[in-house]
Amino acid sequence: MVDFPPRRKPSRKGSMADVPKDLLEQIKELERLFTIDQAKLKEVTEHFVKELEKGLSVKGGSIPMNPTWVMGYPDGYETGTFLALDMGGTNLRVCEIILPEEKGEFEIIQSKYRMPDELKRGDSEELWEYIADCLQQFIEYHNEVEDLEQMDSKLPLGFTFSFPATQDFIDHGVLQRWTKGFDISGVEGKDVAPLFEAALQKRKLPVKLSALINDTTGTLIASHYTDDKTQIGCIFGTGCNAAYMENCGSVPKIAHYNLPPDMPIAINCEYGAFDNEVVVLPRTPFDVIVDSDSPRPGQQAFEKMIAGLYLGELFRLVLVDLHDNKCGLFEGQDISKLRKAYSLDASFLSFVEEDPFENLSETAELFVNELSLRASKPELELCRRLAELIGTRAARLSACGVAAICKKKNIDSCHVGADGSVFNKYPHFKARGAQALREILDWPKGKRDPVDIRAAEDGSGVGAALIAALTIKRVKAGNLAGIRNTEGMI
């Protein structure tokens, strides 16, 4: 997760009147590199639709299109007490969620635990031990019991594991690859459920893993729980992704299960991997550097152009290039802090875009405090424009994935539940994305947008609990498709 500063007043428009000619030429070149017009948006979206289809096929494609074994939406009347575990990028979150009898309502208690950086690149066993320890602390504190073994029954748990995983069952998941800066050896290609369950068993924790989910799938389910017009769930944060409900008959790679063709199944797209072959994505030389210097070159091509983890790095690379090779930006100054990879995150760009002062005094102060650089007013204007260009490109490209799902499913009107730090906190991201959707889908002007991207419910917490509840409900009904271990669920 990217930490953003508090929202401030709407930004003012900068003036280029006092920008020297050489800087103006660089700004025009940056505009050429980072601007995506309507025709390109449509081209990207059309290819996106084909890649979504390919991902559902037996052969597969770059976009995994993982079946989640979440077989339908909640009806709003699910009840019970559930645990939810959210393992994302920055924090580990543990929740206790109570679903009362009132339709679409929930109560939540939660605690956050910092995910140490050394764990992200450390040992597999240490990771699961740490997670089990946090879970034990939470249960002991909130249940006020001295001996966990004496608890009457096991608490059903929905585990939000927000990394690409292949699932033959809802209560298991084989990690395809680490993302979001994680690189723990010995886990890729393995089922993470038994690794997690072994750590629980070691501590004799009264917990039953009922569902392993992705945060995006959770976002879809939680948002539909409170708003039944929701048909797509999206994440625009450290990474990017979407989930939607497909018909089993439209998923050739699960045809051997012989499920009813009209039975719904949630698909976790994992579309950060869209166009890894770079057929249509308009990459700049800076995007190429971000990819080549990443732990996984050639993977997550789409994500590296729009996700919060990479926006600050793109901004930094451009500034270093302008200093070294182009117009002598920050001439005569020590830019050693700026040369440090990933020293800037998306919140830096957010701050620059939101500077409300005509002289960009807050941006100037930011450069002094964070980078020990004193920027002239024209240099600040260039930095402001660059932040706008990178932020706008991310928002416009993000709309292509949503539009592709709408076109594939022939969705004319729906709500999209979106979550993530970039969507929620990056200035103008929502408005820029909405404008791109209008351009892609050719909506008439002056009317309300038929596809409305709005703030999602808590997918990784409430969504995980709901999916655990839906799984238990299916077990009780005898619908066991995609459930491996029903012991202890009812």
Give catalytic residue positions: 162, 177, 215
Beta bridge partners of 87: 92, 161
Distance CA 437, CA 41 (A): 9
Nearest to 82 by CA among 416, 421, 458, 482: 458
Encoded tokens for 112: 């956050």
Q: Are 88 and 163 in contact (CB under 8 A)?
A: no
**What per-residue string of b and e applies to 178-189 under the rule 16 or more CB within 10 Å gives b?**
bbbbbebeebee
Question: Quick one: how far is CA 119 from the chain centroid?
Answer: 21
What are residue 334's phi and psi, to 5 degrees?
-80, 115
First to last CA, the chain: 35
Strand order in the sheet with 264-268: 66-67, 264-268, 240-247, 230-236, 414-419, 451-455
* The pair of three-digit structure tokens given for residue 33, joined into one six-digit string: 């590199």
Question: 């597999």: which residue's tokens?
Answer: 124
287 in Cβ contact with 33 (< 8 Å): no
CA distance 145 to 233: 37
For residue 236, which phi and psi values (nearest 5 degrees)? -125, 90
* C-alpha dihedral sign at 256, 262, 267, 271: positive
Q: Strand 230-236 and strand 240-247: pairing?
A: antiparallel
Burial (CB < 10 A; 0-12, 13-18, 19+), residue 113, is: middle
> Taking a C-beta distance cutoff of 8 angstroms, is the pair 355, 364 a contact?
no
Backbone φ and ψ for 72, nearest 5 degrees, come out as 115, 170
- Which helix (DSSP H) or strand (DSSP E) does residue 55 occupy? helix 38-56
Dihedral angle of Cα 407, 411, 413, 418, to the nearest 10 degrees: -70
Partners of 95 in beta bridges: 84, 110
The DSSP code for 191 is B
Give the helix ranges, DSSP H, for 262-307.
285-292, 303-306
State how beta strands 107-114 and 91-99 pair. antiparallel
* Cα 396 → chain centroid: 16
Q: Is 143 helix (H, G, I), strand (E, B) or coil?
A: helix
